[in-house]
Structure 1
Amino acid sequence: MKRQWYLYLSFLICLTYSTSVQAENKKPDEKRYVIIHADDAGMSHSVNRGTIEGMEKGIVSSASIMVPCPWFKEFAQYAKSHPDLDYGIHLTLNSEWKNYRWGPVASRDQVPSLLDKENYLWDNVGQVMAHVNVKDAEKELRAQIERAKKFGVPLTHLDTHMGAVVSRPDLLEMYVNLGIEYDLPVLFVANLDPKKYGLIAKKGLELKAVLEKNGLPVLDELVQFYGERDYEKRKNAYLETLRNLKPGVTQIIIHCGFDNQELQNITSSSSRRDGDRRVFTDPNVMNEVKELGIEVITWKQFHEMARKQVTSAQ
């Protein structure tokens, strides 16, 4: 079930993606940018260490933080002391692991629709869709943003854990409005097929225009891999993706960590997270990105690009 909802994120908020892009579709005079983005900072000590290594020794250009998680404080302290790097809030409405759970940042009595029978956040996105009141969700997400600010995290963007915040039109609109209010870009790709995604697709088109009007950028492509455990196969899949990037700005979502006892006790994805860290600190991968002429950017830079476009259009 959890894997299905991870895949749901890719289908819900991004264009249909194929790892092969025909060369004739590329325009050589159009620049290719990529944000290498590590999700789930704050989730555990292992994930924090892996994310920091990816940013300091590799080409991980951005990370987002799960504020409700127990290891938030450790990563927040790092972010405060390294303000030149790029940090977002991984807005979190669910808690998906079997024995490693978290609750809301807001007082539980203020957000009752967010809680399961054990007083944790709902396990999966389907439960969020079915039970969460948008007003409760907004209280919680504001609490997450404000807590990060209180701890001195220099925020550059907002995104969404497992796509829960973009799973219903009302939640999607609230998410975009938070980005506009805080003047923070949100992880967002429009152009969904209305035949497949109905009201979400329609609302996405409306909100894309609102974001752009407010000088907030919208991604051209979003890519993530969930399943492959073999390191070499995983590395080759990422390389193939990089070789076939389309012009514009693509975000590649990764999850960094170390395949140690702590992370193994939390999740079966520990080897994949270890693999992502290794891939994006691999000198051969970093050199190939340079040779391909791909510019690795941050959300901060992406935001500035959008601002300039708005200014030049005025």
Structure 2
Amino acid sequence: MKKLLILIFVLSAFILLNAQNKQEEKILLIRCDDIGMSHSVNLAAKELIDAGLKFSTSVMVPCAWFDEAVSILKEAKNVSIGVHLTLNSEWKNYRWGPVAGVSRVPSLIDSLGFFFPSRAKFFANNPSVEEVEIELRAQIEKALKSGLNISYLDYHMGTAVDKPEMRKVVEKLAREYNLGISRYFDETDVNSMYSVPLEAKYNHLVSVFDSLDSEKINLLVCHIGKDNDELSALIDLNDFGLKEMSKHREAELNALLKAILSNDFTNRKINLINYSELIELKGLDKMKSPIETGY
């Protein structure tokens, strides 16, 4: 009887400790945008993949380095891939245009056949919603035909969901292709490293880890890259763009790599998930627009 009571006590303590650990665990989804934009961004994504980080990454289909991104991501483990729906082209001397072809979507482009650099200029051109659907569909189709295992959609610079009628197009395409949409699973955005000073990014990242909500699915959006001649040559055509963009992107990359090497995720009981896992956990039928939920 005494041995039985001891066994029951030990099992109860184990169950209680396990429950407490589960309660302390925090869920974090890291989403790295703009993959395929440039060779240097692709190199940064490969570093995170090689370091074994579980994350989601959003591919820019209209960009010149999309094919290289496909080659890298096809071999990646623990990575969920999304289409970074693109209707803007914001870099001086490095511009891109529609996948569907300029003749099919004339209201989405400038006189040289490129996407506009900002949302304001895009909407000032009175874009056709029908043409928006043609172009976004073409981007999704190209991503799927490349052989990538696409699981979700998101939106470069927010343009594709800026207006209610365009958001409906994105939602329609997600249903049609059985894809999730980032921020449609009640994720909570945490403070990104984007505009944090270069030398403070890692400390900021650690503070974000410490402030994660254990009751929420926390979403951290990152912009990574390598500070080389290619990326440092890109100048944002928008006044609100970051100066020394390439240095900021490499600093974000280095902060994530340092977090991996320092075992910050394990030490802080952070459960990393990606969008493929989140979709499997919640189901596409549970998606809801953040506009409807007041997000």
Q: How much has 1:52 moved relative to structure 2?
A: 1.4
Q: Which is worse superposed, 218-227 or 154-163?
A: 218-227
Q: How does 1:47-62 map to 2 (within 5 A)?
A: 47-59=41-53, 61-62=55-56
TM-score (norm 2): 0.81
Write the distance in 2 (CA, Å) between the matches of 1:32 and 1:68. 35
Letter aligned with residue 231 of structure 2: L
Query: What is the deviation of 1:184?
Result: 1.0
AA matched with 2:196? E
**Structure 2 CA distance for partners of 1:235 and 1:120, relative to 1, 3 Å:** same
Identity level (%): 33
Helix, strand or coil at the partner of 2:121: helix
| 2:182 alignment counterpart | 187
- For residues 192 and 97 of structure 2, the distance between their equivalents in structure 1, rounded to whole angstroms, comes to 26
Deviation at 1:265, TM superposition (A): 0.7
2-structure distance, mates of 1:162, 1:270: 18
**Alignment partner of 1:121: what SS?**
coil
- In structure 2, the residue matched to 1:82 is 76
Q: Distance in 2 between matches of 1:161 and 1:106?
A: 17
Distance 2:268 2:86 in 1: 35
Find the residue that maps to 1:220 and give its secondary structure.
strand
- Residue deviations 1:169-226 (CA, integer Å, cap 9, x gap): 111111122112111111125xxxxxxxxxxxxxxxxxxxxxxxxxxx3323354232
The aligned counterpart of 2:224 is 256
Q: Which of these residues, 267, 271, 274, is aligned with residue 295 of structure 1? A: 271
Asked whether the 8 Å contact 2:49–2:76 carries over to 1, the reply is: no
Count of equivalent residues: 256
Question: Which residue number corresponds to residue 189 of structure 2?
Answer: 221
**4+ runs deviating over 6 angstroms:** none
Query: Secondary structure of the equivalent of 1:237?
Result: helix
SS at match of 1:258: coil
Larger Rg: 2
Q: Is the 8 A contact 1:83 1:154 kept in 2?
A: no
Q: Is 1:242 matched up with 2:209?
A: yes
- Structure with more of its chain in helix, by fraction: 1
The counterpart of 1:44, out of the listed 35, 38, 41, is 38
Are 1:273 and 2:268 an aligned pair?
A: no
Q: Distance in 2 between matches of 1:234 and 1:155?
A: 30
Unmatched 5+ stretches in structure 2: 1-21, 236-243, 287-295
More deviation, 286-295/77-86: 77-86
Where do residues 16-35 of structure 1 align in structure 2 (5 Å cutoff)?
Answer: 29=23, 31-35=25-29
Q: TM-score, normalised by structure 1?
A: 0.76
Structure 1 position 78, deviation (Å):
2.0
Structure 1 residues 152 and 103: CA distance shift in structure 2, 3 A: same
Q: Is 2:146 aligned against 1:151?
A: yes
RMSD: 2.2
Distance 1:83-1:29 versus aligned 2 partners, 3 A rule: closer
The residue matched to 1:282 in structure 2 has which SS?
helix
Counterpart secondary structure, 2:92: coil
Q: Does 1:114 align with 2:95?
A: no
- Looking at structure 2, the residues matched to 248 and 175 of structure 1 have their Cα atoms a distance apart, in angstroms, of 25
Question: Could you tell me which amino acid in structure 1 is paired with residue 253 of structure 2?
Answer: R
